[in-house]
Structures are given as structure tokens and as C-alpha cells.
């Protein structure tokens, strides 16, 4: 049985919510697939994932030092308000706000205190809904709160959480009996399943340790329930509309008054209010009228109006081409989600423990571990990991294009090709990016753009190979430590370089290799030299250009550099992204690079 876990404090609560966020995110695709209510727009998993990603980022920003439970709960609540996306995200945020209120100022919480907090979370969720519908998160949250009340006497939180998850999952399995749309589609409610995954992520942390292996559920049918479901006539509004309002000179209206004001404009209304912030969600045909109302309540801080009919139509149509890459591409999460790019994680071994790059260890977390001196190595994705990604991609597409890190830098490309040769589910084309980081990522974005213009897969692959031949990048490192550990620089050269304050400047060649091109003294000299090299490479000026700045936890420097590049070259796109852990393991904190992609000309 092991040692009894009798309470949570700030540190344990922080770890629990991080584990819960990871487990929900791991099931994102499945939640999107079964999203048929209130409208089948296929984004429940994405919305819950993005809401919890904001929570996770806030928790990571607290650092590893002990933080009192009330501070952790407040950080969760505030982040969930700002990060809440969609109907499911706002409902989840309401529950987390109630959880904070229920915990109050306690420094520790046992089963009884947690049962009270879960009850308050359910009550706040229930009170926020204008039109409560059973068979959704509401039903599962009620059952979880009821089981928590019955389990309040448990002395071991493992038993407490086990009971709650078992009861919540049983309620989830009954949701098709409560909602005809679910029964017709043959699925459970997506939001309710996301809520169960949230609870189950905590249970898994307690029983199996952090980051349960095999988190992604890959046993999915080949069709999407969300794509095939019909929209009920009484819920057939066009725009999923959200706004966030901050109080101005006058106080914000009460949540009940906001719901009443919105009622004539649509349905699926959820209103979240705390302090001087108000967030509202509604499905409507007139988003402008909603925004006008919001402007009268206070200062509009954010607005959103997504066309759900277009989303549903997109789900119904199979894409001709889907894209897969590895996590060395350094594309920001927002773009990965927006373009539904499948990422195959490289393995990280940190302090003798394996993690999946980006999925189980983020850049921010990895930088903290590097600063603590923890040893880190990497291992390329297996062919099976690529085969799994191809299977996911072909469920909604006819052809898969895979853009991977340079063959000259990693065995990743060979494994991607081996998986493609054996894959039975459809055609797969592997493109060696001959680059890494955003040099690889920018190539993917060009491919996505060409696919949207209805280029054939073979033509896309040829064009990407042409573009890579006129693109490149330059980078430098702050310290030789990681290069020594990875065997890329000898200890003697590193010692001398450190003593002389030398900064190596390296280039990614058109063959996909890394070549040293200069050694300069000091950071500013490295910046000037790289900008001069970029300028030489981009003279004469290209007509179609993308650029990117990748950095090892130096965001202010990177943003300043981005502004300089945009002013000088006017690229059609200039990304800024922290290097992913698998690259940081070799480059280290303070490393940075500039990547350019010249797209002039065409293969036709």
C-alpha cells in the first residue's frame, strides 16, 4: 500500500494540477473527435488544453520553491480566467475558481477539506450556467462532488481520489443516456470526459508517479463523430463568441444580469466573474451586438468570434494533406494546434529519467533543471512513434508529409523513413529539412500554406526541397558547457574559449550540417557578426521571406532582435520561440539563432 498521503499543501497541489493538465492535453485529439454537443465543432479538447496550458504556465512560473496552498490556488484561478477558451474551458475555469474559494486560506487540505472545495467548485459551475444541461461536465462534476462528500472520512488521498475517479467515470459512461446527440453519435460527452481526465491525472500522479507512460489514447475509430453529427436546430448559431471585460469607472454588472442581457442574443451562455474581470461565452449569430454590450460594462480586453459552421464543414471534409514533424522544429504550440501538426517527441533523459520532449517536459521546466545542474541527454524518436503519428494523421487526411530534423544531425530522419516504408495506412512522404529548430519549423509552415492552396503532395515536397536549398540560419551559444557534455567540443577548447570570452558563431549549411564560421569576443560582437552574416545571405533582398528567432530562455533579447529583423527585412512572418528541451540539451541557456527562409520562385 505504501505510505499514506494524508494531505495536500502548496507544492503537492501544484504538482497535482500540472499532472492533470498534462493528462487532459494528452487526450486532446480524442476529445476533439467526440465533440458533438452543444455543437460539433471539434474543438473541446483544444479549448480545455489551452485553458489548462495557461494554468500550467502560471504554476511553473511559481518556481520550485515552496509556495503556500492559497497562493497556488489563486494562481490557478487567475490563470484559468485569462486562459479560458470555449464553452468547456469556461466551465472548467468556473470549477477551478470554486475550488480556490473552497480551499480558502488553509495551508493544508485533507480529504474533508478537499471534499468541501470540490463541492464549492461544482456549485460555482452550476450557478454559472444559463441553461444547465445534464449529460455534460455538469453531471460528472455533481457525481464527483457527491462521491467526495461520501469519501471525506478517508485518511489516504489515494483512496479518496480513486473513489472520485471511479464515480465520475461511471457518470461519464451514462452521458449518452441523458443526451440524444451523444447516443446518436455513439460517444460520451467530450467536456465531461475532459473533466474525468483532469481528475484521473491527479490519481495517476499519486498512484503511478508523475507523467504516466502511454498517456495518449491511440485506439480511435477511423471516423470523427464530430464531423458526422448534425447540429440541433435550436442550437444552430454560427459564432462561438467570447469577450473579457475589465471593470472601468463603474463596477461590473452581476453575472446573473450579464446572462439575462445575453439571453436574447443566443445560447450556450457561460459567464465567469471574479474581482474586476468578467468573461462571457455565448453561441450567437450577432457577435457585434455581444461586443457592444460588453463595451458598456467596462474595458474590453479580448474578443473572439469563431465561425462554428465553417469549423464543422472543415471537420466533415478530409484534408488532402496532413503534416507531421518532430519536436526539434520549435514551432510555438499555438501554430501546432492551429494547423493540427502532428509532433513526434524526442526522448529526453534528465537525471536518469526519460521524458517525452515538450509533452512531458516543457522548455521552461527544462531550463530550470539545467540551471540546477541536472544532467541531460537525448534519444531520437523510434520508428513506432512515427508510425503512431502517421496513423493519427491519416484518420483525417489522404497523404502525410513529414518534415524532420536534418539527417546530418540526427537519426530521426532515418527512423521517420523506416516507419513510412512499413506504414500500411496511406502514402507518407518524408522531407529532410536539412535544418533544425525554426529552420525546420518555417519549412513546415510553407508546406501548410501550399496545402491550403491545393497543391498536390508531390509538388509540395518538391517545393520544400527547393526552398530549403536557399534558406539557412546562424546561431551562437552563451556557454560551452552543453557542447562539452554532448561531445561536440573538447574540454580544452571550451576552457580556452571561456577564459577568452569567445562566442562561437555557427551556420546551418545547405547540406544540413553545422559549420563554425567565426569566433568573436562577447555577446554584442556575436550579435553583430550574426546580423552581418544574415544580411550577406539576404543580399539582394528576397521578395518572399520568412524569418525566426529561437532562443534559450532569453525572451527579451529575442523580441528586441525580432523587431530589428522585421524593421530591416520586412519578412512576411517572423517567429520568436524558445528552443525545445531536446535542442536546449545541446545548446544550453542563453543560446540563440536567426533563421531565414527564402521562398522566391516556384516549382509550379
pLDDT number for residue 405: 96
Q: HSE-up of 64 (CA within 13 Å, CB side)?
A: 8
CA-nearest of 350, 16, 24, 53 to 215 is 24
**288-336 pLDDT, tens digit each:** 998 988 888 888 887 878 777 776 566 556 789 999 999 999 998 888 8
**Local confidence band at 525 (pLDDT 50, 70, 90 cut-offs):** very high
CATH of segment(s) 234-312: 3.30.70
| Ranges of each domain in the chain | 10-213, 234-312, 316-467, 472-598
234-312 matches 316-467 in fold = no
Q: Across residues 127-150, what is the average pLDDT?
A: 92
Cβ-contact 528, 554 below 8 angstroms: no
Using the Cα atoms of residue 308, residue 312, residue 314 and residue 315 in order, give the sign of their dihedral: positive
pLDDT at 496 over 50: no
**Local confidence band at 491 (pLDDT 50, 70, 90 cut-offs):** very low
294 φ, ψ to 5°?
A: -60, -40
Q: What is the DSSP string of 136-152?
A: SHHHHHHHHHHHHHHTT
**347-369 pLDDT, tens digit each:** 888 877 777 787 767 777 788 88
Using the Cα atoms of residue 526, residue 528, residue 533 and residue 534 in order, give the sign of their dihedral: positive
Which grid coordinates belong to 447?
Answer: 508546406
Q: Across residues 462-488, what is the average pLDDT?
A: 78
Residue 410 exposed, middle or buried by CB count within 10 Å (0-12, 13-18, 19+)? buried
Q: What is the pTM of this model?
A: 0.58
Q: Is 316-467 CATH 3.10.450.50? A: no
pLDDT number for residue 219: 27
Cβ atoms within 10 Å of 212's Cβ, excluding its own:
18
Q: Across residues 441-445, what is the average pLDDT?
A: 97
Q: What is the DSSP string of 66-130?
A: ---HHHHHHHHHHHHHHH--HHHHHHHHHHHHHHHHHHTT-S-B-HHHHHHHHHHHHHHHHHHBS
Query: Between vectors from CA 27 to CA 449 and to CA 395, what angle results, nearest 5°?
Result: 50
pLDDT number for residue 235: 52
CATH of segment(s) 10-213: 1.25.40.340
**Local confidence band at 228 (pLDDT 50, 70, 90 cut-offs):** very low
pLDDT number for residue 236: 65
Residue of 462 and 184 predicted with greater confidence = 462
> Pairing relation of β-strands 428-432 and 397-404?
parallel
Q: Percent of the chain at pLDDT above 70?
A: 88
Q: Across residues 113-127, what is the average pLDDT?
A: 95
Using the Cα atoms of residue 570, residue 574, residue 576 and residue 582 in order, give the sign of their dihedral: negative
Residue of 125 and 2 predicted with greater confidence = 125
pLDDT at 151 over 90: yes
Tell me what the pLDDT averaged over the chain comes to: 85
CATH architecture of 472-598: 2-Layer Sandwich (3.30)
Which grid coordinates belong to 122?
Answer: 461544482
CA distance 86 to 41: 11
CA distance 444 to 431: 10
**425-434 pLDDT, tens digit each:** 889 999 999 9
Helices (H), 511-590: 523-537, 555-569, 581-587
Amino acid at each position: 500500500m505504501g505510505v499514506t498521503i494524508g494531505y495536500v499543501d502548496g507544492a503537492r497541489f501544484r504538482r497535482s494540477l500540472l499532472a492533470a493538465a498534462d493528462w487532459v492535453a494528452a487526450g486532446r485529439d480524442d476529445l476533439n473527435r467526440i465533440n458533438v454537443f452543444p455543437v460539433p465543432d471539434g474543438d473541446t479538447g483544444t479549448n480545455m488544453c489551452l485553458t489548462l496550458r495557461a494554468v500550467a504556465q502560471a504554476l511553473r512560473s511559481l518556481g520550485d520553491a515552496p509556495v503556500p496552498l492559497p497562493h497556488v490556488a489563486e494562481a490557478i484561478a487567475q490563470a484559468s480566467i485569462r486562459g479560458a477558451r470555449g464553452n468547456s474551458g469556461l466551465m472548467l475555469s468556473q470549477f477551478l475558481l470554486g475550488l480556490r474559494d473552497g480551499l480558502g486560506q488553509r495551508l493544508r487540505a485533507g480529504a474533508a477539506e478537499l471534499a468541501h472545495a470540490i463541492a464549492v467548485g461544482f456549485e460555482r459551475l452550476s450557478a454559472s450556467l444559463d441553461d444547465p444541461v445534464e449529460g455534460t461536465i455538469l453531471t460528472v462534476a455533481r457525481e464527483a462532488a457527491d462521491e467526495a462528500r461520501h469519501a471525506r472520512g478517508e485518511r489516504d488521498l489515494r483512496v479518496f481520489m480513486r473513489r472520485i475517479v471511479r464515480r465520475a467515470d461511471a457518470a461519464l459512461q451514462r452521458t449518452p443516456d441523458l443526451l440524444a446527440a451523444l447516443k446518436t453519435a455513439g460517444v460520451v460527452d467530450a467536456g465531461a470526459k475532459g473533466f474525468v481526465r483532469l481528475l484521473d491525472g491527479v490519481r495517476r500522479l499519486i498512484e503511478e508517479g508523475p507523467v504516466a507512460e502511454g498517456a495518449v489514447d491511440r485506439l480511435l475509430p477511423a471516423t470523427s463523430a464530430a464531423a458526422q453529427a448534425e447540429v440541433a436546430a435550436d442550437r444552430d448559431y454560427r459564432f462561438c463568441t467570447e469577450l473579457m471585460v475589465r471593470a472601468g469607472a463603474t463596477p461590473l454588472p452581476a453575472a446573473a444580469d450579464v446572462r439575462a442581457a445575453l439571453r436574447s442574443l443566443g445560447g450556450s451562455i457561460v459567464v465567469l466573474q471574479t474581482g474586476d474581470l468578467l468573461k462571457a461565452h455565448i453561441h450567437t449569430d450577432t457577435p457585434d451586438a455581444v461586443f457592444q454590450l460588453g463595451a458598456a460594462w467596462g474595458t474590453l480586453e479580448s474578443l473572439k468570434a469563431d465561425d462554428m459552421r465553417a469549423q464543422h464543414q472543415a471537420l466533415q471534409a478530409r484534408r488532402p494533406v496532413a503534416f507531421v514533424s518532430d519536436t526539434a522544429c520549435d514551432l510555438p504550440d499555438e501554430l501546432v494546434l492551429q494547423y493540427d501538426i502532428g509532433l513526434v517527441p524526442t526522448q529526453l533523459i534528465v537525471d536518469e529519467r526519460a521524458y517525452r520532449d515538450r509533452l512531458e517536459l516543457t522548455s521552461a521546466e527544462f531550463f530550470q533543471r539545467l540551471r540546477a545542474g541536472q544532467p541531460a541527454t537525448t534519444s531520437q524518436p523510434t520508428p513506432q512513434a512515427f508510425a503512431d503519428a502517421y496513423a493519427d494523421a491519416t484518420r483525417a487526411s489522404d497523404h502525410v508529409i513529414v518534415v524532420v530534423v536534418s539527417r546530418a544531425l540526427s537519426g530521426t530522419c532515418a527512423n521517420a523513413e523506416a516507419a513510412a516504408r512499413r506504414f500500411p495506412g496511406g502514402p507518407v512522404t518524408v522531407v529532410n529539412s536539412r535544418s533544425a529548430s525554426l529552420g525546420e519549423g518555417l519549412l513546415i509552415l510553407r508546406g501548410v500554406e501550399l496545402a491550403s492552396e491545393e497543391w498536390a503532395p508531390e509538388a509540395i515536397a518538391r517545393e520544400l526541397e527547393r526552398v530549403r536549398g536557399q534558406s539557412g540560419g546562424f546561431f551562437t551559444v552563451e556557454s560551452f558547457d552543453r557542447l562539452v557534455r554532448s561531445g561536440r567540443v573538447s574540454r580544452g577548447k571550451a576552457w580556452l574559449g571561456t577564459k577568452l570570452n569567445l562566442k562561437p558563431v555557427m551556420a546551418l549549411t545547405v547540406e544540413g550540417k553545422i559549420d563554425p564560421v567565426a569566433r568573436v569576443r562577447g555577446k554584442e560582437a556575436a550579435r553583430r557578426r550574426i546580423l552581418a552574416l544574415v544580411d550577406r545571405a539576404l543580399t539582394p533582398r528576397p521578395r518572399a521571406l520568412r524569418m525566426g528567432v529561437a532562443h534559450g530562455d532569453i525572451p527579451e533579447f529575442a523580441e528586441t532582435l525580432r523587431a530589428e529583423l522585421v524593421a530591416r527585412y520586412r519578412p512576411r512572418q517572423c517567429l520568436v520561440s524558445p528552443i525545445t528541451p531536446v535542442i536546449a540539451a545541446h545548446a544550453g541557456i542563453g543560446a540563440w539563432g536567426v533563421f531565414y527562409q527564402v521562398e522566391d520562385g516556384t516549382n509550379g
